Amino acid sequence: MSFEGIIGQDRAVRFLTRAYEKNRVPHALLFTGIPGTGKRTTALALARLLQCQSAKGTVACGICPACKKIDSGNHPDIVFVEPSGSFIKIDQIRTLRNEFALKPFEGNKRVAIITDAHAMNPEAANTFLKILEEPPKGSFMILTAHQVSDLLPTIVSRCQHIAFAPLSSELIAENLVTKRRGDRQIADIAAVWANGSLGMALQADLKKVAEERNRLIEQFETLSLNTMHFLFGFAESLAQDKDNLLYNLEVLKVWIRDLLFGKLCPEKILNKDLMEKIKEISERYSVSSLLKKIKIVQGAQVDAQKGRNRRLILEVMLIRLCRGNY
């Protein structure tokens, strides 16, 4: 296998297979995208193809010594760099530089896969830049990161950039059904929650995700400015669950978006299992008030990402959302 197992990234795969066929794989590649979109899997597939001793077309053979070593995770000419703690530190990049200075142990290529390259601290990034400026012959560096803006522009400009798009919820749900043997209805809920990340959907406790969505929406729909203590309690519970905060806000945003589509084009509703409820509740709101509510949640998502006073951000968001109930 080479790129067959990579889901929903046809553009990236097309680019890489063409580059390989023309023997013009760039020496430095930067894969960006949200976690769980296949960046590292693709990097590994490319490394395997580059090292395979008897690839057929753009498919690594899977049986040569190089393929076998890669599959067991110990090919000496594939170097992995990933954050140790929160950062990729200068020592790790120095080690990479030293390894790249030597001739490859086998064959004639060296591949480095640098996961979460945005975690390089400034010293590490500057040292890495020097490797990029004068890449050793036969070396390939594949960087993954969330977004281009997280990296030094001088690093980005020396890499061929490939964006990994978030996956559609349809594709994620299909994969959950086949890979996790999930129930389609629960898979649909988890796919919406995963918000484009297949990796996250595959790791999730699907049933729990579905239960959590139901609980959130149920509580949200009972909020009112007449029962402020309940509103503040809800804000507090959201704020305390800080690991899931952005996803919980996404659930609320998708819910309001569904109410909007319930009025405009129900076939676009994402929470399909709640179709009837959505159509009914959407009658209570105007299109313009729902559009305003979506903006309010988006604003809270941006503020919450900055990590400042989450509870206040959520309280203000919920009050503004309730005020818009007309």
Binding site for Zn ion (CB under 5 A): 52, 60-61, 64, 67
Q: How far is the CB of 5 from Zn ion (least distance, A)?
A: 16
Q: How far is the CB of 61 from Zn ion (least distance, A)?
A: 4
Q: How far is the CB of 62 from Zn ion (least distance, A)?
A: 6
Give the residue ranges of DSSP H helices in 74-197.
90-101, 122-133, 153-156, 169-180, 184-194
Strands 28-32 and 139-145: parallel
- Closer residue to Zn ion (CB): 2 or 282: 2
Block residue for tokens 């989450």? 310
- Closer residue to Zn ion (CB): 34 or 78: 78
Q: How far is the CB of 68 from Zn ion (least distance, A)?
A: 8
Closest CA to 28 of 150, 107, 116, 139: 139
- Closer residue to Zn ion (CB): 67 or 204: 67
Q: How far is the CB of 65 from Zn ion (least distance, A)?
A: 8
Kindly tell me the sign of the dihedral angle through the C-alpha atoms of 103, 105, 111, 112.
Answer: negative
What count of other Cβ atoms lies within 10 Å of the Cβ of residue 122? Answer: 10
- Closer residue to Zn ion (CB): 64 or 322: 64
> And the tokens for 317?
């968001």
SS3 171: helix
- Closer residue to Zn ion (CB): 20 or 193: 20
Order of strands, edge to edge, in the sheet holding 110-114? Answer: 78-81, 110-114, 139-145, 28-32, 160-163
